[in-house]
Chain A
Amino acid sequence: MDIIRQRKNFISKLVFQIATIAGIFALIILLFSIFNEAFGYVIFENEKSPAEIYDSGIGLENASKEDLVKILENNISKGLMRRFNFDQSFETRDRENVLELVIIEVVNPTIVKAWALSTSIFQKKMIIETLKNDYPEGNLEFRSWLSLDFLFSAQSSIPEKTGIITALTGSLMLLLIAIILAFPLGVGTALYLEEYARPNKLNKLIQLNIYNLAGIPSIIYGMLGLAVFVRFLEPITSGNLFNNAANSTANGRTILSAGLTLGLLILPIIIINAQEAIRAVPKSLKFSSYGLGATKWQTIWSHILPYSMDRILTGSILAVSRALGETAPLIVVGASTFVAQKPDSIFSKFTALPIQIYQWTARPQPEFRKVAAAAIIVLLILLLTLNAGAVMLRNHHKNKKKG
């Protein structure tokens, strides 16, 4: 008997271990494929070689400012020249600045071939061969697709120049709106259901529905957002009612609509989390407050909320991180795929990180997959930061509770 029991024990342990290892393995593959894409060798080819436009022996990098201005005048249109001068006159620009203009506008290097990180490391010979044979004019360079330029550039149709600042601000504004809507509403509802509502049929029905809402596919929320915020409440969500419509033609497909939709999406999650947090407040704590002659509200405000706030916040942060990754409802509500300018108000058109990633992966140029990988890394870092914040918050409050 004992041997059979021990064997059973051993087998079940083995199964669980295999399951865990499989999970970790999947995660590693995921991370590998992302990082594999985000870094690697690229070959640049110049539209005009530096030697061609500047033939003194010292090389373009060391040319004087006057020479560089001359090169610009010779190679670009008068109109473009005027625009640059208008932005900042050439007298006040320094040499580095003019050199940059020359490189971007005249030399204009473009990526003609890019490799993944693994190829770059293990098949460098092949890469050099390719460079020699197919791109004799090209320059080989190791490139990190994730860079500060990438973070702070607006969208562009050229892969090496595009950036995620529009999507990033879009995402952050969406989250802010969603939190402003869902947090007070969610905590309030949870307080009502836990502390005030009597367990009658109606309240049980409400409770059941909240549980169900938390499980509804997010695209349904998208439909709701489309019907209610985009269509029905268009005067408000487009800003027309406040004479504040952005000069874009958003027509209700604004950050506000999408943020409210995401808010509704995370509302049930926040409610359920907050309810559990409030339920976890020891009865003895409540009773001691009532025992001192405190009213319900005094008890809630001074004891129940402070005691449960860490769990409420943790749950809310996790809900928010879910909202950060949501794509479907945003598509339905009408996220724009291409927004060249940062959104400047809640009535602007918008795009968000997951939308942007989806859109880049759908492009035909292979370089955009690398851009998408870099954006995914940004998204993951944001998510991890939020979750780490949740953990830290929980530990902080746990220590406080322990005294």
Chain B
Amino acid sequence: MENNNILNLKDLNVYYGAFRAVKDINLNIQKNKITAFIGPSGCGKSTVLRSINRMNDLVEGTKTVGEIIFQDRNIYNRNVDAVSLRKQIGMVFQKPNPFPKSISDNITWGAKINGYKGDMGQLVEESLKSAALWDEVKDKLDENALRLSGGQQQRLCIARTIAVKPEIILMDEPASALDPIATLKIEDLMKTLSKDFTIIIVTHNMQQASRISDYTAFLMTDENRSGHLVEYNRTSKIFINPKNKQTEDYISGRFG
């Protein structure tokens, strides 16, 4: 694997109370690539994703042990501010969740709270263009974002995340609430975005992982229901010639 790491997960363990949800994850995420986390429900893939921008901090009773090295420091260090970390590591969620505001406000809000001083109109246009949404909404920027279709809403959420200019974008099953065509649009968008951003995506949809990702990590639960990493490799390797029997069974639909 080439050495262009942007993020290193070292012996990552996440506990919910006494329950160890994630066990000893070691992973290196490549810059400007799409990495997919796949695995059966409850395997901890979303937990790992949320620990990368410390979203787990918001869940009561979560404890994270181990290191996530980003920009030469462990993001779980005492002196790292979770709020500013989340500006660098943005997140897109499963259900499209635009703010109940106008389309342009959706984009500008994140930039405003992060002290963006530039031209807001330009930012809105750039972000919407990068999210392949500009042509569809340019005439109704002041309309409420909730009037858009589900797929458009999700692309707006991506545009909103881009507007903050993060290094990494985490996507938690971003297309699972969308119809197939809207899903394909999001996938194309991710491919395009991976030129400028590092993308980590959690997906239940193996085909989606195989279509879009450059690297795939397969996670599974052990006998204690703790999620652990089974196999991590280039997506082409995982989907044509997986090394691990469990991986093969899972991706071929014989398990899970």
Contacts and interface: CB of A to CB of B under 8 A. Distances in A.
Interface string B146-162: 11000000000100110
B58 A199 contact: no
Interface stretch (B37-45, B79-87, B223-231): B79-87
A74 interface: no
A332 B81 CA distance: 54
Contacts of A198: 60
A292 B84 contact: no
Say which size band chain B's interface belongs to.
20 to 34
Interface stretch (A141-149, A219-227, A283-291, A381-389): A283-291
Contacts of B60: 198-199
Interface stretch (B108-116, B128-136, B200-208, B238-246): B108-116
A229 interface: no
A401 B100 contact: yes
Contact of B95 (A284, A286, A289, A403): A284
Contacts of B100: 306-307, 400-401, 403
B97 interface: yes
A291 B99 contact: no
Residue of A282, A291, A293 most packed against chain B (CB within 10 A) = A291
A95 interface: no
A285 B99 contact: yes
A20 interface: no
Contacts of A285: 97, 99
A303 interface: yes
Nearest to A397: B100
Interface in A272-322: 282, 284-295, 298, 302-303, 306-307
A284 B164 contact: no
B251 interface: no
A298 B55 contact: no
B90 interface: yes
Nearest to B114: A293
Contacts of A201: none
Given A199-B60, A291-B53, A292-B161, A284 B93 contact: yes
B145 A292 contact: no
Nearest to A299: B113
A278 to B, nearest CB: 15
A211 B83 CA distance: 34
B144 interface: yes
A293 B86 contact: yes
Given A285-B99, A302-B109, A401-B146, A292 B93 contact: no
A291 B145 contact: no
Nearest to A306: B100
A401 to B, nearest CB: 5
Nearest to A199: B60
Interface in A318-333: none
Nearest to A291: B91
B97 A293 contact: no
A402 interface: yes
Contacts of B110: 292-294
Nearest to B58: A290
B146 A402 contact: yes
B235 to A, nearest CB: 26
A292 B164 CA distance: 7
B161 A293 contact: no
A294 B87 CA distance: 8
15 contacts: A288-B99, A288-B157, A290-B83, A290-B86, A291-B91, A291-B92, A291-B161, A292-B90, A292-B114, A292-B160, A293-B83, A293-B85, A298-B113, A303-B99, A402-B146
Interface of B: 53, 55, 58, 60, 83-87, 90-93, 95, 97-100, 109-110, 113-114, 143-147, 157, 160-161, 164
Interface of A: 198-199, 282, 284-295, 298, 302-303, 306-307, 400-403
Given A287-B55, A288-B97, A403-B145, 9 more contacts: A287-B93, A288-B99, A290-B83, A291-B53, A292-B90, A292-B160, A400-B144, A401-B100, A401-B146
**Closest 3 interchain pairs by CB?**
A403-B146, A293-B87, A403-B144
